[in-house]
Amino acid sequence: MVRVQVPATTANLGPGFDCLGMALKFYNIIEMAQVSSGLSIEVHGEGVQDITRDESNTVYRAAMHLFKQVGFVPAGLRIRLLNNIPVARGLGSSASAIVGGLVAANVLSGNKVSPRELLTMASQLEGHPDNVAPALLGGVIISAIVEGEVRYVKIDPPPGLKVVVVIPDFQLSTRAAREVLPQHVSLGDAVFNLGRAALLVAALQQGRLDLLATAMEDRLHQPYRASLVPGMKKVLAAARLAGARGVCLSGAGPSIIALADSNTELIARVMKDTFRESGIPARALVLEPSSIGARALEIKSRIS
């Protein structure tokens, strides 16, 4: 049996659409064992109502993808999912399922796939690398697809940085949140994001929290997604007023994150209250970045 711990992730960080993401100290656990026959999937915690328990399950599909690549045919599989990461809220739940399934399957089939290949596989399954890279490797990851492979650099966020995460009480699938995006953007908007994404990476590397307010601005996806997240603009503004260093939509939304080094409880309360004023109940978590990505623990025993 193998047990894999995978962190939640927040992608984009504002301007880094599909290429920036950060791992958070907030985890899902995926347990997988080879059994004599059949497939059984147990789901606990988040997603009990939503996550399928048959061959369409994302963890199972990722595992079978890897098994096929390495020519391993499991007799049967037992999968147990202990979920903390809320589903379809912009905190990388699908990335955690894909990375967890791949890492668990790799251990069960003799660790034939390198971390680099795992990253490329995960990115292909997810469609973009920004969540799966920090889910697998931890830290803040800057990634790009180059000739089908993921090239990346990992940086550690500044010490003491906290991530206030406010999670509205409704789901928004990544697919729906991508459908509202334009296929073409203006050169002006592209340049706006390029400058900010570059500033953001430098700011995180050099601990320049004073730059985050500007460096986390975006014109490529957030303006289009505002209509899908009632209160989004007001929550972003309220968090800034309450002392957040930088604010943005988390991944495809609907969660919103604020990066801060103080006043985190106040920022969380103000963001939640502002969502509530727009008719959206929300909960808040104050998290830290995780410098560690997916971790596997193999437990050698026979399961009947």
Ligand X SMILES: N[C@@H](CCO)C(=O)O
Ligand Y SMILES: Nc1ncnc2c1ncn2[C@@H]1O[C@H](COP(=O)(O)OP(=O)(O)OP(=O)(O)O)[C@@H](O)[C@H]1O
* Sign of the alpha-carbon torsion through 191, 196, 197, 203: positive
Task: Please identify which residue in the block is written with the tokens 């955690």.
Answer: 96
* Sign of the alpha-carbon torsion through 189, 156, 173, 246: negative
202 among annotated binding-site residues: no
95 among annotated binding-site residues: yes
Measured CA to CA, the distance from residue 58 to residue 63 in angstroms comes to 9
Measured CA to CA, the distance from residue 6 to residue 33 in angstroms comes to 17
Interaction of residue 218 with ligand X, rule CB under 6 A = no
What 3-state DSSP class applies to 197?
Answer: helix
Stretch that binds ligand X, among 76-84, 128-136, 231-239, 262-270 (CB under 6 A): 128-136
Stretch that binds ligand X, among 41-49, 149-157, 174-182, 189-197 (CB under 6 A): 174-182
CB of 97 to ligand Y, least distance (A): 4
The answer to whether the beta carbons of residues 64 and 32 sit under 8 Å apart is no
- Measured from the CB atom, the residue of 11 and 239 that comes closer to ligand X is 11
Task: Please identify which residue in the block is written with the tokens 């209250």.
Answer: 273
Considering only residues 221-240, where is the footprint of ligand X by CB under 6 A?
A: 221
State the CB neighbour count (10 A cutoff) for residue 128: 20
Which of the choices ligand X, ligand Y, none does residue 87 contact, using the CB cut-off of 5 to 8 A by kind?
ligand Y
Tokens representing residue 241 in the block: 């007023």
Q: Using alpha carbons, select from 287, 246, 290 the residue that is nearest to residue 140.
A: 290
Count residues binding ligand X (CB under 6 A). 13
CB of 18 to ligand X, least distance (A): 4
93 among annotated binding-site residues: yes
CB of 42 to ligand Y, least distance (A): 11
91 among annotated binding-site residues: yes
Candidates 15, 92, 168, 293: give the one binding ligand Y (CB under 6 A).
92
Q: Using alpha carbons, select from 224, 233, 246, 225 the residue that is nearest to residue 278.
A: 233
Radius of gyration of the CA atoms of the chain, in A: 19
Candidates 23, 30, 204, 252: give the one binding ligand X (CB under 6 A).
252
Candidates 58, 264, 274, 290: give the one binding ligand Y (CB under 6 A).
58
Return the bridge partners of 249, or none. Answer: 256
Interaction of residue 168 with ligand Y, rule CB under 6 A = no
Which of the choices ligand X, ligand Y, none does residue 91 contact, using the CB cut-off of 5 to 8 A by kind?
ligand Y
Candidates 5, 96, 131, 255: give the one binding ligand X (CB under 6 A).
131
10 Å CB burial of residue 207 (0-12, 13-18, 19+) is middle
Q: Which segments are annotated as binding site?
A: 86-96
Q: Which segments are annotated as binding site for ATP?
A: 86-96
> Footprint of ligand Y on this chain (CB under 6 A)?
11, 28, 47, 50-51, 57-59, 81, 83, 87-95, 97, 131, 173-174, 251-252
